[in-house]
Amino acid sequence: MKKFILLSVLAVALTILFGCRANKEQQARNDQASMGNTAAPAGEVTYQVPKEWIEETPASRMRKAQFRLPGTDGAEDAVLAVFFFPGTGGSVEANLNRWYRQFKQPDGSLTKDLAKTVKFTVNGLNVTVTYVTGTYLQPQNAMMMSGPMDEKENYAMWAAIAETAGGPWFFKAIGPKQTIDRWRPQFDQFVQTFRINKKSV
């Protein structure tokens, strides 16, 4: 009798375990479907830059491209940098968390908790866009992300990550909040031009 009860309990436990696993697998499939893709497309990401943005020589070899976003009403310019590290680059969440740590909040709260982040599909690409404000911890050495920092108050970051089979593409704009907010409509239009150049495969 005890053996029968033990086997019954074990059967119920296994049913629950595999049921939970099946639910998680189904949820993962649903999440993928909601993003519009089952696999990241291969090729380089192309985009159309607003005519008001000024193309510059990248400040470091890590950047594929760099654009200056003019400030208005006395505000300093912002800079948008494009990054791509073939075959590497880390996960979307890892990069978002790293970027959030580059900002601190006056009240000591976590920037991650205040970030405005959305995910959607653009021309077959899974794209994540985030916007944060706060005090930007800017490295004094542009080639290094550690070491002495300059604290830039009332700054903002707008960033987008486009996922491809070769790795994520990063589009990251940082500058005074006034300047970043001035260009928000153009940022949104800019992201909508993302597409894959399959000829580059």
pLDDT of the residue at 200 = 58
pLDDT of the residue at 143 = 58
| Stretch (H or E) spanning 81 | strand 78-84
pLDDT of the residue at 39 = 74
pLDDT of the residue at 28 = 38
In angstroms, rounded to a whole number, what is the distance separating the alpha carbons of residues 151 and 135? 6
pTM of the predicted model, to two decimals?
0.77
pLDDT of the residue at 133 = 97
In angstroms, rounded to a whole number, what is the distance separating the alpha carbons of residues 175 and 78? 4
pLDDT of the residue at 57 = 95
**Domain spanning 44-200 has what CATH number?**
3.40.1000.10
Q: Which residues of the chain have pLDDT under 50?
A: 2-22, 24-38
SS3 state at 34: helix
